[in-house]
Amino acid sequence: MAANWWLALIIMVVLNGIVVWNFIVGQERVSRRAKKWFFIVANVIGLCLAVSQFFWMDF
């Protein structure tokens, strides 16, 4: 069960890391409102993936 929690944490960290990396490396300016929505969408996707792995992966 602990492996499920670690995998859920890794999923969230990786998705947030991808979003942050794109903002740091990206050349175009992004508004504060767009950044907020990128983080919201990334976290909703990450939350769905993290919760779904609890149902489909038995360790």
Per-residue pLDDT 10s for the chain (59 aa) are: 677 888 888 989 999 999 999 888 888 888 889 989 999 999 999 999 888 888 877 65
Contact 46, 12 (CB under 8 A): yes
Gap between the Cα atoms of 38 and 16, Å rounded: 9
- Domain carrying residue 43: 1-56
Using CA atoms of 7, 54, 19, 14 in order, give the dihedral in degrees to the nearest 10. Answer: 10
The number of domains in the chain is 1
pLDDT, residue 28, reads: 83
pLDDT of residue 58: 66
Q: Are 42 and 19 in contact (CB under 8 A)?
A: yes
Structural contact between residues 35 and 23, judged by C-beta atoms closer than 8 angstroms: yes
pTM for this entry: 0.75
How many other CB atoms are found less than 10 A from the CB of residue 50? Answer: 19
